[in-house]
Amino acid sequence: MSKKDNFQTRAIHIGNEPDQETGAVVAPIHLTSTYEQHAVGNDKGYDYSRGGNPTRTRLEKNLASLESGDHCFAFASGMAATTTLFQTFSAGDHIIIGHNVYGGTYRMSVKVLARHGFEFEFVDTRSLENIEAAIRPNTKLVFIETPTNPLLELSDILLTANLCKANNIKLAVDNTFMSPFGQTPLSLGADVVMHSATKFIGGHSDLIAGALITNDADMAEQLQFIQKSGGAIPSPFDCWILLRSTKTMALRVQKQSDNAFELAQRLHQSSIFDEVIYPGLETHPQHSLAKRQQLSPEGVPIYGSMISLRCGSVQKRDDFLSNLRLFTLAESLGGVESLVSVPFEMTHASVPTDMKLSMRLTEDLVRLSIGIEHIEDLYEDIMMALKE
């Protein structure tokens, strides 16, 4: 198996080699905290499961390959991954973060790590000029999410990576919304990719996990050290579930995106919402960037399975939510089942109201995560919920 194999083939085989001892085609789950040493320091590559576990190693190999990276570190959550990444920097370092990142990333930066002397600055990273203007002598990291949660704003990874390189700054991309199937930031010049594996990588809303992937050997060494020291690791069972999930990621993500594309077009044409926000629509201000940057492994544009809708009023929003039959009101996204959420009060509750309003993250905004149900059932559910 090599890097030259196609995404779908790597997803099935890398990290999933048959068990050497028994020949089992499906990888065993190594439920162990510790490992026998034949003499002090003489082990088979593992000594304690916080530092490493064979099931986790298989998952890390699989995810590294799917993101076109050399090194992957798996974590107990996406936030554990982001926190570990930030912890590779030091007090006094300046970190530029996209202004519309996930609310938990905002909370960890401003309410926890800022107390430890990190200087965070939130910038609208859709514009390269904004990033350039924010760079200071102590800027060490630019952290972007593209598309963002929930406004689906895009940042140009290639141009941002070039700017960062010219200024000796690392670029991290939260690739949760696209999954490695829809976007591989390392191949566009990013230094590190972060995932909430809870979402499309897991794909079934049955676990919480995260990952960091990089080609930078120095960064990998630091990430591994903090992963082992802090211990925010996923259980072997969760690693196994994730390994199983990535086998179907290409099929799931493509279908979810196809469903979302079709729904977004129909909803846009019907004008029943004040605004339909979806990068696949020509009305999206960054549609051409989405078309260029968000590509399936075959090089075909893929616009993702997240759609945000402006209802116009909180009353219409609440009526819509209570009438939906198939869409479950819940946090999270990326699973095979369709979900609906209200970012203003749910995922972005910890972001100050004035900051939310300044970027038009309003109370009437509803976010859909489209699953793999039949498109006609999803469409009918939305239309009926509005009519009732």
Name the site residues for ligand PLP (rule: CB under 6 A): 77-79, 102, 104, 145, 149, 174, 176-177, 196, 198, 208, 210, 332, 347
Nearer to ligand PLP, 135 or 307 (CB): 307
Is 373:254 a contact under the CB 8 Å cutoff? Answer: no
Closest distance to ligand PLP from the beta carbon of 103 (Å): 8
Nearer to ligand PLP, 248 or 332 (CB): 332
The two counts, helices (H) then strands (E), for the chain are: 14, 12
Q: Where are the beta strands (DSSP E) in the chain?
A: 71-75, 94-98, 119-123, 139-145, 170-174, 192-196, 210-214, 275-277, 306-310, 328-329, 339-341, 365-369
Instruction: Determine whether 174 is an active site residue.
Output: yes
The string of DSSP letters for 334-358 reads -SSS-EEE-TTTTTTTTS-HHHHHH
Instruction: Determine whether 50 is an active site residue.
Output: yes
Report helix, strand or coil for 276: strand
Is residue 41 exposed (0-12), middle (13-18) or buried (19+ Cβ within 10 Å)? exposed
Catalytic residue among 46, 56, 58, 102, which?
A: 102
- Rounded CA-CA distance 110/351 in Å is 10
Query: What is the amino acid identity at position 374?
Result: H
Closest distance to ligand PLP from the beta carbon of 10 (Å): 23
Nearer to ligand PLP, 265 or 332 (CB): 332
Catalytic residue among 174, 238, 364, 381, which?
A: 174
Nearer to ligand PLP, 151 or 188 (CB): 151
Closest distance to ligand PLP from the beta carbon of 377 (Å): 25
Which residue is at the shortest CB distance from ligand PLP?
78
Instruction: Determine whether 199 is an active site residue.
Output: yes
Closest distance to ligand PLP from the beta carbon of 210 (Å): 5
Catalytic residue among 199, 252, 317, 367, which?
A: 199
Catalytic residue among 5, 43, 50, 379, which?
A: 50
Q: Where are the beta strands (DSSP E) in 261-354?
A: 275-277, 306-310, 328-329, 339-341
Nearer to ligand PLP, 64 or 339 (CB): 339
Instruction: Determine whether 5 is an active site residue.
Output: no
Q: What residues are annotated to the active site?
A: 50, 102, 174, 199
